[in-house]
Amino acid sequence: MTTLFTMQRPSVRRALLLTPAMVVIGGFFVGGVTQAVLQSLGQQPLVGDATWSLDAYRSAASDPAVTSSINLTLRIGLISTALATVFGVGLALFARRLGRGRAWMTRLFQSMLAVPHLVGALCIALLLSPSGFLSRAAATTGLVDDQQQFPALTQDSFGWGIIAEYVWKETPFIAVIALAAMTANLARLEDVSRTLGARGWQRLLHVTVPVIAAPVGAAAVLVLAFTMGSYEVPILLGRPFPAPLSVVTFQSFSDTDLTARPQAMAVAVLLAALTTVVAALYLVLVRMSRRSQL
């Protein structure tokens, strides 16, 4: 009787079906985070060091490389997320107006989701590097006298190449989420507002944006977390110094000197905390914006 009752409740059934996968994922995630926190606090029994200490965090805080990495990580993550969100929502609104052409544009967005970031980084390097397509085209057309005079868009201190790859790759993801949120119910709400005399921009601000804000905001948080923690794109398109926190963490973790491991773990914990705080603030701003529009 209990089993039959349980199977008749969809929420309980879904929870039971997801339990094995969540146990595995949770075990690896919780175990990894716990190990990182313990090692950052000096608990390294493999090297004979098991003294509780905050020296790794003090060392990371006084390291100029870590400070520069924090600024670069925040800059890349926030700019990439903002641009991808704006472009993604804009493309979704454009695709929605295509009518029958919406289907093929949606399939185009979905096909771009399958492209790995590693491939995207290589494409951006071939396009924007000093010896890439744009620099050669600029030199051929006379915009610059030599390819080396073309502005540095990869391996630059600001991170333009990294931002360009993230925006190119994450814009279709935001667009797909935004299109999925533009349901028939939204069309009915827009028709009602149009009947009441609302203009185009008023319908956009007071009807369309509040409806898609929650799913787009959630997607933007995922993009923000990924762009702040990704490794392969910064290592291919960025400079060795300053480098994002993900690159600094891996470089410290790969050091043959195991006594440097606590600082690497401290930076990793700092990156996780920074991503969590920024994502939480972003969600708070989205909720405040939705409330102000109601």
Count CB-CB contacts under 10 A for residue 30.
Answer: 10
pLDDT at residue 8 in the model: 52
> Mind listing the pLDDT tens digit for each residue in 241-268?
888 888 888 887 777 777 777 878 888 8
**Domains of the chain from N-terminus onward:** 28-293 (1.10.3720.10)
Q: Where are the alpha helices (DSSP H) in 196-260?
A: 200-203, 209-229, 232-237, 245-253
In whole angstroms, what separates CA 1 from the centre of its chain? 46
Write out the chain's pLDDT in tens, 294 residues: 445 444 456 777 888 888 888 888 888 777 778 888 888 887 776 666 667 778 778 887 777 878 888 889 889 999 999 999 999 998 988 888 776 667 778 888 888 888 888 888 898 988 888 888 888 888 888 777 777 778 888 888 888 999 999 999 999 999 988 888 887 677 777 777 777 777 767 777 777 777 788 888 888 888 988 898 888 899 989 888 888 888 888 887 777 777 777 878 888 888 888 778 877 877 776 676 566 555
pTM above 0.75, yes or no: yes
CB 262 within 8 A of CB 39: yes
The rounded percent of the chain whose pLDDT value lies above 70 is: 88
pLDDT at residue 4 in the model: 47
Beta strand extents in the chain (DSSP E only) = 43-44, 49-50
Residue 49, classed as helix, strand or coil, is: strand
